[in-house]
Structure 1
Amino acid sequence: MRLIFLLVFLLNFNYVNAQLFSEEKVLNKENLDKKRWSWGYFLGFNMYDFQIKYKDQGEEIKVEKNPSFSVGLIGNFRLNDYVDLRLEPGVVFASRNLNFNFTDFGNQADSFREVQSSYIHIPLLLKFSTKRINNFKPFVIGGASISHNLSSNEDNPQDNSAGQFRLKTQNYYYEVGFGIDFYFDYFKFTPSIRGVFGMNDELVRDENPSSPWTANIESLKTRGIFINFTFQ
């Protein structure tokens, strides 16, 4: 994930540097942003985490974050020259591992839970852009989103005592980020970085109120980072 950050930064820096100091100022896709509606798609990487709050202080659950990917569509509605309303429905795959090493389980497998999630993720965002500079335009973006976790196990009658870690299916988030629009001859390319922060407690607790897996958890919320590459 750090390598991806570095590559994105270097590519953007070289392009922006060329645009700022180049004498030639031919504008690519000059009329693209003047359209009331525009469409596109995105591909991206993500790193999901859990923010866990505990009822009592003590040993904490260790969360192992794994990189994964996302893909989706973009619908963009132009409000004015500097503000756009965006809908970005997509499919997001996430992978996290939970280690409960502080509890002495009889079975070693019970100290580990693999949480694989597949989300239908739908953000509604406001994009605030600067004035276009030659063939690039920086922006900040933010808004709210809802997701449907297809692999939540919420309705599974079995819980951690049978090896099933359960999450809620419907979840809500707020998102903030930034990026740069780059205008090429035939399309607009946009790399962006965005933080995603869960607003609701996603944990479905075990039937046993003294469960070593869920009893001490006050709330469990998703947070993550998206690196998206958009084509319009």
Structure 2
Amino acid sequence: MKRILFILLLVFSFSSCFSQRGYKAESLLNYQKVDQKWLHFGFTLGVNSMDFAIYNSGIGDARAEQVAFSPGFTVGIVSDLRLHENWSLRFLPGLEFGQRTISYSNLDVEEVNVESVLVNLPLLLKYRARRLNNYRPYLIGGASFKLDVQSQDALDPENDMLVRLQTTDLYLELGAGIDFYLPYFKLATELKFAIGVKDIINHEYDIDNPGYEAYTDAVRKVNSKIITLSFHFE
């Protein structure tokens, strides 16, 4: 909860830098042509927080929980297809880098690090409110397919990587943001939540590294969650 409040504070602080000019009734309308194009492109930069929703199996004495906040970063491409004055379809392929730490009780190694490099392929529907001077709030939602190119075929005990993740996952995404119209481009700040619908843990044992089965057996199911604060340049 604290990390969500922190990210929201960043969004509102950033937005306030533009709001004074945006609310003036006689302000000059910047970069109007972007909303008239049926297709336009851009790029995105952002920071993320990857998290796990862990459901313990109850097998044995081991218990697992997500600990430690490790911010990651996101880069990608923006493509926006105009469907209506207030609606557009967006495809934002990109890469997401992050790390999660699982804390175990009653096992020899108490913390296990899980690194991820996700190829993100989201298809999202964007609803834009009416433009007010040089800003325009919006809502966005949809689904994304993510491919983890960092997922391991084998355990790595030397680096405390004692669980493996599935390679692919499907996410439901929902967010909100504000478009700021600057003289030569449009800048959007966006806060988005993504929830994985699949069990992300690979429950198969690694026969080449025996003795670590308890780390996998301790969890019944693990879902991935990602919070992303993005800056879109269009």
Q: Write the deviation string for residues 56-87 of structure 1: whole angstroms up to 9, x where unpaired.
A: 39844243230010100011000000000000
Task: Return the alpha-carbon distance in structure 2 between the equivalents of residues 171 and 123 of structure 1.
Answer: 12
Of 226, 229, 234, the residue aligned with 1:227 is: 229
1:186 paired with 2:190, answer no
Matches within 5 A, 1:86-165: 86-100=90-104, 102-105=105-108, 110-153=109-152, 155-156=153-154, 158=155, 163-165=161-163
Deviates more, 1:55-64 or 1:76-85: 55-64
Partner of 1:168: 166
Aligned residue number for residue 6 of structure 1: 9
Equivalent residue, structure 2, for 1:45: 47
CA distance in 1 between counterparts of 2:142 and 2:119 reads: 17
Query: TM-score by structure 1 length?
Result: 0.88
Offset of residue 26 of structure 1: 1.4
Query: How far apart in 1 are the matches of 2:221 and 2:25?
Result: 55
Q: Secondary structure at the match of 2:32?
A: coil
Q: Which runs of 5+ in 1 are unaligned?
A: none
2:86 to 79, 82, 86: 82
> Per-residue CA shift, 1:193-232, capped at 9, x if unaligned?
0001000001012528993212131211110200000001
The worse-fitting range, judged by mean Cα deviation, of 119-128 and 51-60 is 51-60
> Please, which moves more after superposition, 6-15 or 61-70?
6-15
CA contact (8 A) 1:123 1:145 kept: yes
Evaluate the alpha carbon distance shift between residue 169 and residue 104 of structure 1 in structure 2; reply closer, same or farther with a 3 A threshold: closer
1:213 partner SS: helix
Contact 2:163 2:216 survives alignment (8 Å): no
Q: Indicate if the aligned counterparts of 1:199 and 1:221 stay in contact, CA closer than 8 A.
A: yes
**RMSD of equivalent CA atoms:** 2.4
Asked whether the equivalents of residues 52 and 220 of structure 1 are also in contact (C-alpha less than 8 Å), the reply is yes
How far 1:163 moved relative to its partner? 4.7
| Greater mean alpha carbon deviation, residues 205-214 or residues 71-80 | 205-214
Amino acid in the other structure paired with 1:85:
L
Secondary structure of the residue aligned to 2:130 is: coil
Counterparts of 1:50 and 1:128, CA distance in 2: 29
What secondary structure does 1:131 align onto? coil
Contact 2:44/2:230 (8 A) holds in 1: yes
Q: Which amino acid aligns with 1:217?
A: V
Per the alignment, in what secondary structure is the counterpart of residue 174 of structure 2?
strand
Q: Which stretches in structure 2 are left out of the alignment for 5+ residues?
A: none
Instruction: Indicate if the aligned counterparts of 1:160 and 1:213 stay in contact, CA closer than 8 A.
Output: no
Check whether the contact 2:113–2:161 (CA below 8 A) recurs between aligned residues: no
- Separation of aligned partners in 2, 1:194 and 1:47: 11
Contact 2:64–2:103 (8 Å) recurs in 1: no
Which stretch has the larger CA shift, 163-172 or 217-226?
163-172
Calculate percent identity across the aligned residue pairs. Answer: 31
Deviations 1:91-145 (A, max 9, x none): 1001111111x1142xxxx222111111111110000010111111100000000
